[in-house]
Structure 1
Amino acid sequence: MSTVIKVKQVNEMSLYVTRHGQTNYNVNNLVCGISPAALTTDGIEQAKELGRQLKSIKYDFLYVSPLQRAIDTADYANVEGLEVIIEPRISEINFGIYEGVHRDDPGFIANKHNLAIRYPNGESFIELCKRVYEFLGEIKEQATKSNVLLVCHGAVCRAINTYFNEMSNDDIFYYQTENCQLLKYDYLSR
């Protein structure tokens, strides 16, 4: 069962963020960045439950990662009445040569622990943060005093959390967002 976690509270725009529903990669503990991954039956149910939670929240903009698992999550959540805006900057991190390997793979773990190292043929967490932060800055300017919903991915949720909260490298490494968990952030007045 998903819950809304309120991270910070002020009186401006609220940013709601959720991770896509469960995929076979999640079930099998495989690394999945930009690889195509379909929602499981449980993932579809998680998305429908997310939709029930979203009925009580008024949001004005819906941004979704271009990866199919995020698009499907938004569709199953029955996000009513809003145009879906596909936003490539909230696509999952590119894990390069580690796409599809088991999460216990020593090479993957070594790369994951160093946030500045680029995954071979992929990108680093720092590079991911750069594109996510750029997008978050844009929606702050474009949608102040409006609520925004993002349907994205685990590493993107981690990057968003670092945008709003100071975190140590260990905090970043261990920060997890469950499938279809709904997070809420509020932009500070500037």
Structure 2
Amino acid sequence: MQLYLLRHGETEENKSRFYYGKLDVSLNEVGIDQSKRAGELLKEIKFNSIYISERKRTRETAEFALNNGDLNLITDKRINEIDFGKFEGKNYEQIQKEFPSEYEMWNENWKEFAPPGGESYRQFYSRIKEFLEDILHKEQENVLVVTHGGVIRTIYCCVLEGNLDLYWKFSSKNCDISIIKYEYGNLFIDSISHVK
């Protein structure tokens, strides 16, 4: 199996460096262009399944990238971005100022701390891992997952045997395409491509 991971295109919230997962925002013009260019790299591949999160930025990315009108997208809430709760729509400095004690707890224990009304990284990891395990049990050749940067970096952690500290060792830029291969019971990162 080849599992293609496509991060959604740029949004204004990305550009402003806001924390957002649950906020449902659209691509900006740059994000639309990135999605179309990603589509050029994917156009020769016949996908058995295409998964998107519940957020419209992933649906828009898939539609602009694959531009064939009959996509049969499968929405799966397990590949939504992490829910930042009351931190949503705020940048690092705003969080530090408005939630000083929560900010300290977040820094001290980022894996277990959940922002007010949000989820912890440990909870986030569990649902991503469950999604990945389900996908690997399907006997399909090519699967596309259009999702979010945090989800993709978490899938890398799953591939690297659950080492959560490696989450911070990877970048995931808008419309990056990663290929994860699953062969003979072995899961590995085959490539990561940046859309120019």
User: Scaled by the length of structure 2, what TM-score is found?
Assistant: 0.82
Which of 42, 45, 52 aligns to 1:64? It is 52
Question: How far apart are 1:34 and its partner, in Å?
Answer: 0.6
Structure 1 CA distance for aligned equivalents of residues 128 and 172 of structure 2: 16
Structure 1: gaps (5+ residues): 1-12
Structure 2: which 5+ residue stretches go unaligned?
97-101, 186-196
Q: Which residue pairs with 1:138 in the alignment?
A: 134
Q: Summarize the Cα distance change of 1:168–1:74 in structure 2 as closer, same or farther, 3 Å threshold.
A: same
- Specify the alignment match of 2:72 in structure 1: 83
Q: Which letter maps to 2:168?
A: F
- From 4, 7, 25, give the equivalent of 2:13: 25
Does the residue aligned with 2:92 lie in a helix, a strand or coil?
coil
* Residue type of the alignment partner of 1:27: K
How many residue pairs end up in the alignment?
177
Greater RCO, 1 or 2 (C-alpha within 8 Å, sep 6+): 1
CA distance in 1: counterparts of 2:146 and 2:164, whole angstroms: 25
Which of 91, 99, 110 is matched with 1:102 structurally? 91
Tell me, yes or no, if the aligned pair for 2:18 and 2:90 is still in contact at 8 Å: yes
Q: Which has the larger radius of gyration?
A: 2
**2:120 alignment partner in structure 1:** 124
Report the aligned-residue RMSD.
Answer: 2.0
Look up the match of 1:9.
none
Compared with structure 1, are the counterparts of its residues 183 and 109 closer, same or farther at alpha carbon in structure 2 (3 Å cutoff)?
farther
Q: Deviations over 1:151-174 (max 9, x none)?
A: 000111111111112475553124
Please say if residues 16 and 184 of structure 1, whose CA atoms lie closer than 8 Å, have aligned partners that are also in contact: yes
In structure 1, give the amino acid aligned to 2:153. R
* SS class of match (2:66): coil
1:111 is matched with 106
Q: Summarize deviations over 1:11-34 as a string: whole Å, max 9, x none.
A: xx0100011100010111111111
Is 1:92 paired with 2:92?
A: no
**Alpha carbons of 1:145 and 1:68: their partners in 2 closer, same or farther (altered >3 Å)?**
closer
Aligned to 1:148: 143
Query: What amino acid is aligned across from residue 50 of structure 1 in structure 2?
Result: A
